[in-house]
Amino acid sequence: AFNVVNTTNRVVYTIGEFLYRITEPALRPIRQVLPNLGGLDISPIILILLLVFLKNLMFEYLA
């Protein structure tokens, strides 16, 4: 958006595409539930909080 990352560089494009394909299956369901906040995407924050909550829950019940 701010032309910070040069996506015309093949290596940069490949890394970006890889990260998108890895994270999109986990983030897509969260994005469908959240309301549209304009240009602000908080789905990664919600995913991280959910993973931390599940980790703590597992360690509490399994330990």
For the chain, what is the HEC assignment? CCCCCCCCCHHHHHHHHHHHHHHHHHHHHHHHHCCCCCCCCCHHHHHHHHHHHHHHHHHHHHC
Query: pLDDT tens digits for 50-62?
Result: 999 999 999 888 8
Determine the structural domain holding residue 51 and report its residue range.
10-62
- 2 part of a folded domain: no
- 5 part of a folded domain: no
Report the domain count for the chain: 1
- 22 part of a folded domain: yes
- 57 part of a folded domain: yes
- 1 part of a folded domain: no
What is the band of 1 on the pLDDT scale with cuts at 50, 70, 90? Answer: low
- 4 part of a folded domain: no
- 28 part of a folded domain: yes
